[in-house]
């Protein structure tokens, strides 16, 4: 055997905290390597191709692109750089771990003003644990509030802190090379990068990305392989095409793969079967193009293997050597997803309603989404879906809704574990940035959710950074309260902090629900009489049913109301238009807000057209009996 190097390839992942500018930087890399020239107008954040990604402006799935670099650092012949754009939101951390399994190094982006944040720590820790070399890119130097020196220091501190944390797990972390961290200063949006530090708030002194490409050539090692080793490739992502069926993205570690070849497919359970590669595809910018062969170091897509999943191995049929499984952090939040059981289920034709359809869809999601788990419940028409966070689960429900599903979704809960005989629950490290004046309010809010403050520091700019350790449960429904409290200015970010002992009960909302006591249509008249004491989520004409939550009570207890009451005829006439004018506009809750609002005894009805909050038990009498039984229990216990 002899070790050989693919000098014509580099595989690199772009990692960072949410919104630090990864996808925008990839745009500039594509633009400057000529990738957009024959594809019409340049789209912004081209890699955020999913509908929800475009709408929310965040990356949800890790994706790969490939640019052909032939600038001054390429040394004469073009070099293929496979770039993996990863999501920065903590809920999609599983995607980052998957992205890292494909590459030989990372570009760590840090916002020149915000500095390293929780997810920076998470991705950097993963990169160091995988012994991947790191290039630091201080991004958005143009931000008027940038503080470049401090951000570089904070990042270096973080790096050294992590390296010493990891020393037990990964004994041969090379601290010296970490101290030598290559630094590039950039404004990804302008496509400008330099090795020279710009003044705070200004663009780098060089107006293209050459210094970044140079750093990639110098610091991200070219793939190395053993020229006598049989084929070994890892499935790192999945996709589907209407013509080719399932497509598996592979990182080839050893050997060669050709179109039409028969290979061994090693499943998770260890079974092996021979399959034919019917199509082999290379990525060029944003497109996949047919190829005849690919070899160690390449990232390619293959078609023809119908049930292949992430983490499985493609190997040489004559010498099968499986690669290790890809591991991701455990899920922290779960909710039940089942068929729509509301009286209004199926009122719109053509929706997907049956348990079978829901289960098939959930099973399909599992194939491509490594961070989700689906567990059976006692009911045949509902399943418990577990994920890293509320957002990850809400996105799944939103996608299903757009595909035409009607669903009943339970309130998000935490995934608990019994460790050494006692109940444990997941905790988060929460970092908060907010204007000073809100410190008191925030501390109170978090204390009521069983958070404990670890540190607090003042940047001297009127803003304060606080760090808390808090049960994941305490963050359910936290965002709405937090944003109201800080008038939309606060920034909160959380990452997993492992399991700790159950923290005790948390009261999430101290208002009650307004519940409709009958089926019918909402009337302006009823809303006018009731609106003094409550906030509504429905508007005149909306269909309601017994047990549906139509608003929020300013007092803590629930209240059943008749919201369909018609006006008694009298001789004072006011037009409907006039009445509508006097009506306080109802709150229109998004899916995420509904999930946050729902209490233990409530759930959310989701259809392509509407999202409604409802009581799990719709019948008013049954609910009344249950409530008084609970009260009696409380009284005798307390």
User: C-beta of 545: minimal distance to ligand GTP in Å?
Assistant: 38
| Nearest residue relative to ligand GTP (C-beta) | 88
| Span near ligand GTP by CB under 6 A; candidates 134-142, 301-309, 364-372, 562-570 | 134-142
CA distance 438 to 283: 48
Q: Does 142 bind ligand GTP (CB under 6 A)?
A: yes
Stretch that binds ligand GTP, among 20-28, 208-216, 325-333, 396-404 (CB under 6 A): 20-28
95/312 with CB nearer ligand GTP? 95
CB of 480 to ligand GTP, least distance (A): 20
Q: Please give the residues from 188 up to 217 whose contact with ligand GTP meets the rule CB under 6 A.
A: 188-189
> Cβ closer to ligand GTP: 45 or 465?
45
SS3 245: strand
C-beta separation of 159 from 197 below 8 A: no
CA-based end-to-end distance of the chain: 74
Separation between Cα atoms, residue 126 and residue 123, nearest integer Å: 5
Q: Which of 11, 32, 33, 59 binds ligand GTP (CB under 6 A)?
A: 59
Using the contact rule CB under 6 A, the part of the chain among 186-194, 251-259, 403-411, 593-601 near ligand GTP is: 186-194
CB of 128 to Mg ion, least distance (A): 22
Query: Any contact of residue 187 with ligand GTP (CB under 6 A)?
Result: yes
Q: Binding segment for Mg ion among 20-28, 62-70, 291-299, 504-512 (CB under 5 A)?
A: 20-28
CB of 398 to ligand GTP, least distance (A): 16
Q: For residue 576, what are the CA distances in angstroms to 523, 524, 580? A: 11, 8, 6
Least distance in Å: CB of 589 to ligand GTP?
23
Separation in Å, CA 485 to CA 50, 434, 479: 32, 10, 10
How far is the C-alpha of 355 from the C-alpha of 535, rounded, in Å? 34
Phi, psi values for residue 180, rounded to 5°: -85, 15
Q: Which does 24 bind (CB under 5 to 8 A by kind): ligand GTP, Mg ion, none?
A: ligand GTP
- Residue 339 engages ligand GTP in binding (rule: CB under 6 A): no
In this complex, which beta carbon is closest to ligand GTP, that of residue 57 or of residue 78? Answer: 57
Number of residues that bind Mg ion (CB under 5 A): 3
Count helices and strands (H / E) in the chain.
15, 37
3-state secondary structure of 486: coil
- Of the two residues 58 and 231, which places its CB atom closer to ligand GTP in the complex? 58
Q: Which of 13, 15, 23, 217 binds ligand GTP (CB under 6 A)?
A: 23
Give whichever of 50 and 201 is closer to Mg ion, judged by the CB atom.
50
19's contact among Mg ion, ligand GTP, none, with CB below 5 to 8 A by partner kind, is: ligand GTP
HSE-CB for 352 with a 13 A CA cutoff? 17
Span from 187-195, 402-410, 578-586, 592-600 in contact with ligand GTP (CB under 6 A): 187-195
Quickly count: other Cβ atoms within 10 Å of residue 199's Cβ: 10
Residue 24 or residue 564: which is nearer to ligand GTP going by CB? 24
In angstroms, the CA 110 to CA 118 distance is: 11
- What count of residues does the chain have? 638
Q: Is residue 89 a contact residue for Mg ion (CB under 5 A)?
A: no
Footprint of ligand GTP on 60-99 (CB under 6 A)? 87-89
Measured CA to CA, the distance from residue 70 to residue 27 in angstroms comes to 17
Distance CA 214, CA 194 (A): 10
Strands 463-471 and 452-458, sheet pairing: antiparallel
What is the token pair recorded at 209?
């990305």
Choose among Mg ion, ligand GTP, none what residue 351 binds, the Cβ cut-off being 5 to 8 Å by kind. none
Nearest distance, CB of residue 383 and ligand GTP, angstroms: 28
Our finding on whether 493 is near ligand GTP (CB under 6 A) is no
Residue 623, C-beta contacts closer than 8 angstroms, at least 6 positions apart: 547, 601, 615, 617
The site map against ligand GTP for 592-631 (x = CB under 6 A) is ----------------------------------------
Question: Which does residue 188 bind out of Mg ion, ligand GTP, none, counting CB within 5 to 8 angstroms by kind?
Answer: ligand GTP
When asked if residue 86 is in the footprint of Mg ion (CB under 5 A), the reply is no
Q: Are strands 559-561 and 512-516 parallel, antiparallel or unpaired?
A: parallel
Shortest reach from residue 204's CB to Mg ion, in Å? 21
* Bridge partners for 514 per DSSP: 551, 559
CA 367 to chain centre: 17
Q: Fill in the per-residue mask, 21 to 60: x = in contact with Mg ion (CB under 5 A), - = not in contact.
A: -xx-----------------------------------x-
Query: Around Cβ 274, how many Cβ atoms within 10 Å?
Result: 10
| Eight-state DSSP code of residue 284 | E
Q: Which stretch binds Mg ion (CB under 5 A): 18-26, 171-179, 296-304, 387-395?
A: 18-26
CB of 368 closer than 8 Å to CB of 418: no
> What SS3 state is found at 174?
coil
Q: Where are the alpha helices (DSSP H) in 511-571?
A: 524-530
Q: Does position 18 bind ligand GTP by CB under 6 A?
A: yes
**Beta strand spans in 436-529 (E):** 452-458, 463-471, 491-501, 512-516, 520-521
Q: Which token pair is 240?
A: 């589907």
Residue ranges that bind Mg ion, judged by CB under 5 A? 22-23, 59
Residue ranges that bind ligand GTP, judged by CB under 6 A? 16, 18-24, 45, 57-59, 87-89, 139-140, 142-143, 187-189
């Amino acid at each position: 055997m002899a070790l050989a190097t693919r000098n014509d390839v580099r595989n690199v992942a772009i990692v960072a905290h949410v919104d630090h500018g990864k996808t925008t930087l990839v745009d500039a890399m594509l633009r400057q390597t000529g990738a957009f020239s024959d594809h019409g107008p340049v789209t912004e954040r081209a890699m955020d191709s999913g509908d929800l990604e475009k709408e929310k402006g965040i990356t949800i799935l890790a994706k790969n692109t490939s640019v052909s670099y032939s600038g001054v650092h390429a040394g004469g012949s073009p070099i293929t750089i496979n770039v993996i754009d990863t999501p920065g939101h903590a809920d999609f951390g599983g995607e980052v771990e998957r992205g890292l399994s494909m590459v030989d190094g990372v570009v760590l982006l840090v916002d020149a003003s915000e500095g390293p944040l929780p997810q920076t720590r998470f991705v950097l820790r993963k990169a160091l644990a995988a012994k991947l070399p790191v290039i630091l890119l201080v991004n958005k130097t143009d931000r008027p509030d940038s503080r470049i020196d401090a951000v570089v220091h904070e990042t270096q501190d973080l790096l050294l802190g992590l390296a010493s944390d990891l020393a037990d797990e990964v004994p041969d972390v090379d601290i010296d090379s970490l101290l030598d961290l290559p630094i590039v200063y950039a404004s990804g949006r302008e496509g400008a990068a330099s090795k020279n530090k710009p003044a705070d708030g200004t663009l780098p002194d060089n107006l293209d990305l050459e210094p970044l490409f140079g750093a990639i050539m110098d610091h991200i090692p070219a793939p190395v392989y053993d020229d006598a080793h049989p084929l070994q490739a890892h499935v790192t992502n999945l996709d589907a095409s209407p013509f080719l069926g399932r497509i598996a993205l592979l990182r080839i570690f050893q050997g060669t793969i050709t179109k039409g070849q028969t290979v061994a497919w090693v499943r998770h359970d260890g079974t092996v079967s021979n399959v034919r590669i019917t199509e082999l595809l290379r990525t060029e910018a944003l497109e996949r193009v047919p190829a005849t062969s690919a070899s160690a170091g390449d990232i390619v897509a293959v078609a023809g293997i119908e049930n292949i999943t992430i983490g499985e191995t493609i190997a040489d049929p004559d010498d099968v050597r499986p690669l290790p499984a890809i591991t991701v952090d455990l899920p922290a939040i779960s909710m039940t997803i089942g068929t729509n059981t509301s009286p209004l289920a199926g009122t719109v034709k053509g929706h997907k309603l049956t348990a079978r359809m829901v289960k098939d869809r959930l099973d399909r999601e599992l194939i491509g989404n490594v961070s989700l788990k689906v567990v059976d419940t006692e009911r045949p028409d509902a399943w418990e879906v577990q994920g890293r966070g509320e957002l990850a689960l809400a996105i799944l429900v939103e996608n299903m809704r757009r595909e035409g599903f009607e669903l009943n979704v339970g309130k998000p809960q935490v995934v608990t574990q019994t460790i050494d005989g006692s109940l444990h629950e997941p905790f988060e490290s929460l970092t908060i940035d907010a204007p000073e004046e809100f410190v008191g309010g925030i501390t109170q809010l978090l204390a009521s959710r069983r958070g404990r403050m670890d540190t607090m520091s003042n940047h001297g700019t009127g803003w304060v950074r606080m760090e808390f350790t808090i049960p994941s449960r305490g963050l359910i429904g936290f965002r709405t309260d937090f944003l109201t409290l800080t008038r939309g200015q606060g920034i909160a970010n959380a990452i997993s902090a492992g399991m700790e002992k159950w923290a005790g009960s948390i009261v999430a909302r101290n208002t009650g629900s307004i519940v409709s006591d009958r089926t019918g249509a909402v009337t302006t008249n009823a809303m006018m009489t009731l609106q003094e004491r409550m906030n509504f989520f429905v508007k005149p004409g909306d269909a309601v049913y017994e047990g549906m939550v139509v608003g929020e009570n300013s007092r803590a207890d629930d209240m059943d109301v008749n919201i369909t009451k018609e006006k008694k005829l009298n001789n004072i006439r006011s037009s409907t238009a006039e009445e509508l004018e006097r009506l306080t506009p109802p709150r229109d809750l998004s899916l995420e807000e509904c999930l946050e609002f729902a209490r233990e005894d409530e759930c959310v009805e989701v259809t392509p057209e509407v999202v409604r909050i409802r009581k799990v038990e719709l019948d008013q009498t049954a609910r009344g009996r249950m409530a008084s039984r609970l009260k009696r229990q409380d009284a005798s216990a307390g």
